[in-house]
Structure 1
Amino acid sequence: MKSRTTGSWTPVALSADLPAGTVIPARTPTGPIALWRSRSGGVSAFADRCPHRGMRLSHGFVRGEALSCIYHGWSYAQAGNCVRIPAHPGLTPPEAIRVATRQVEEGDGIIWIAADQSATRPPRLDGLAPLRSLTACAGIAAIEAAAGTDASPGGIVGFANNSQTIRMLVASLEDEQALIHVLVEGDASPPERIAASRAAEALRRMAEHIQRKGIA
């Protein structure tokens, strides 16, 4: 399922929010993801369900270059294959035991997940840097209505806030929700960053109001 704003790619998280050796939950239009970074820095995206008993892998933990389920400790390499079953330490797990993986790309401080394996490269941010992420209980149309402009082909919505132009990278989620990544110029000052963050929060509230009223 493609996003109207970002095409085959969903910008699911900021790179800064996923340090080495951690796993976090992420959302895409096609379902939940366990997003994790190995100790050496590689990023992987798994379907958020352990093949063993269905526990969410985003509740698990990273051990070296593998992600382990918190329930029974089954561990999966970055390719999705099971590499360790603690209850059977001498067993080489069958190749058939694996978790579904998703194509992932990291660039410009954003982690992107592809809707399918045929996706090309994700959009670039052209010198902009991500500041923070927000989830809006509103669809893209409501966000565009609040901003007074449509999203660009790369998924960026810009609007004026006093003398500053605020830019947000937006992508659709399920159930009329959207993910917003606030962007700033790389050399933005601390006051400009604070202003951009507050302006994005205000726009989110306006978009949610528009969504509730069915205006968009």
Structure 2
Amino acid sequence: MPSDTTDRWMPVALSADLPARTVMPARIGAETIALWRSASGQAAASADRCPHRGMRLSHGFVRGEALSCIYHGWRYAKAGNCLGIPAHPGLTPPETIRVATFPVVEQDGFVWVGKGAPQSQPPRLEGLSPLRSLTATATIAAIEAAAGASTDADGLLKPAGAADGLCLLLSDQADGQTLMHVLLDHRAKSRERIAASRFAETLRRRAEALAVEGARP
């Protein structure tokens, strides 16, 4: 996606990479968030700092429908309100104790997180199946140069010379990094999936080499 993340949906992870009852760090541009999935399968996104002592919530754990801080166990709902404080089991936490949250949409095998107030839904990726994700130490511009093609308005890139149906969904991670999601025609066979994965790795290395060359004085 474009580097300006204001009022945009960002494809932060593959759905398959976020099993139930797990939490993982993800990024929206330069900002790290805690991406988690409840026991019932609902994906949620929270700011990555517990209001109590500032511990990263992405280091925490999921129990039931709540995300708990690993430090003192403060529990937060998907909406961001504090559900409980283990040191004070009889206390109903005040509404002022909250973590910031982000809108989440899960579709077409991706978890999309919105920053700001997106005015529309994430783009549909019909006919495409997510294969894997790679982080490249290269900007979107370097990846485009390596691919010999440009991203479209939805952040999709179809590299020159790639097999039919192979494309990349790019998400700017700031600090010169880009998250590359590899997509393939949903009818692709095993050998085509392996070839697509190798193609993406080669493209990443080419983009990173171009990024290094561009950084030289």
Listed one character per residue, the Cα deviations across residues 172-195 of structure 1 (whole Å, up to 9, x for unaligned) are: 111121110000111110000000
Partner Cα distance (2:146, 2:187) in 1: 27
The alpha carbon displacement at 1:3 in A equals: 3.4
Matched position secondary structure for 1:173: strand
Determine the structure 2 residue equivalent to 1:174.
174
Gaps of 5+ in 2: none
Listed one character per residue, the Cα deviations across residues 97-141 of structure 1 (whole Å, up to 9, x for unaligned) are: 000001111100000111212442011112101000001100010
Matched position secondary structure for 2:19: coil
- On the 8 A contact 1:171/1:178 being kept in 2, the answer is yes
| Paired letter, 1:98 | R
| Paired letter, 1:201 | E
Determine the structure 1 residue equivalent to 2:150.
150
| Paired letter, 1:191 | R
Alignment map for 1:32-181 (pairs within 5 Å) = 32-161=32-161, 163-164=163-164, 166-181=166-181
Partner Cα distance (2:19, 2:147) in 1: 32
TM-score, normalisation: structure 1 = 0.94
Partner Cα distance (2:68, 2:203) in 1: 39
The alpha carbon displacement at 1:2 in A equals: 6.0
The alpha carbon displacement at 1:15 in A equals: 0.2
Gaps of 5+ in 1: none
| 1:196 counterpart = 2:200 | no
Determine the structure 1 residue equivalent to 2:20.
20
Question: CA 1:69–1:186 in 2, change beyond 3 Å: closer, same or farther?
Answer: same
Partner Cα distance (1:134, 1:187) in 2: 22
Q: CA RMSD in A?
A: 1.9
Alignment map for 1:5-16 (pairs within 5 Å) = 8-16=8-16
Partner Cα distance (2:195, 2:6) in 1: 25
Matched position secondary structure for 1:133: strand
| Paired letter, 1:139 | T
Give the stretch that moved more between structures: 206-215 or 193-202.
Answer: 206-215
- On the 8 A contact 2:138/2:178 being kept in 1, the answer is yes
TM-score, normalisation: structure 2 = 0.94
Partner Cα distance (1:19, 1:110) in 2: 13
Identity %: 61
| Paired letter, 2:21 | G
Matched position secondary structure for 1:208: helix
The alpha carbon displacement at 1:30 in A equals: 4.6
Listed one character per residue, the Cα deviations across residues 14-60 of structure 1 (whole Å, up to 9, x for unaligned) are: 00001111111101115001000100111110011111001010111
Question: CA 1:188–1:5 in 2, change beyond 3 Å: closer, same or farther?
Answer: farther
- On the 8 A contact 2:146/2:203 being kept in 1, the answer is yes
Partner Cα distance (1:6, 1:53) in 2: 28
- On the 8 A contact 1:137/1:176 being kept in 2, the answer is yes
How many pairs were matched up? Answer: 215
